[in-house]
Amino acid sequence: MITARDVFAETNPAFCGAVVAQFCSAYQVTRSGLAPATALIYLVVPLAISEDLAPTFDGCNRETGFTLWMGRNPKVSVDLAKKVNSTLEITTAAIRFGCIAGIFKLTLDGGVESTRKTLPAAVTNGVAGGALKRARLLGIWMAGMGSPRAVLEALGVCV
In angstroms, rounded to a whole number, what is the distance separating the alpha carbons of residues 127 and 121?
12
Band the pLDDT of 118: cuts 50, 70, 90: low
Is 0.85 surpassed by the pTM of this model?
A: yes
The helix/strand count (H/E) of the chain reads as 9, 2
* Cβ proximity of 33 and 146 under 8 Å: no
Average pLDDT, the chain: 88
* Cβ proximity of 20 and 138 under 8 Å: no
Q: What is the pLDDT of residue 10?
A: 58
10 Å CB burial of residue 47 (0-12, 13-18, 19+) is buried
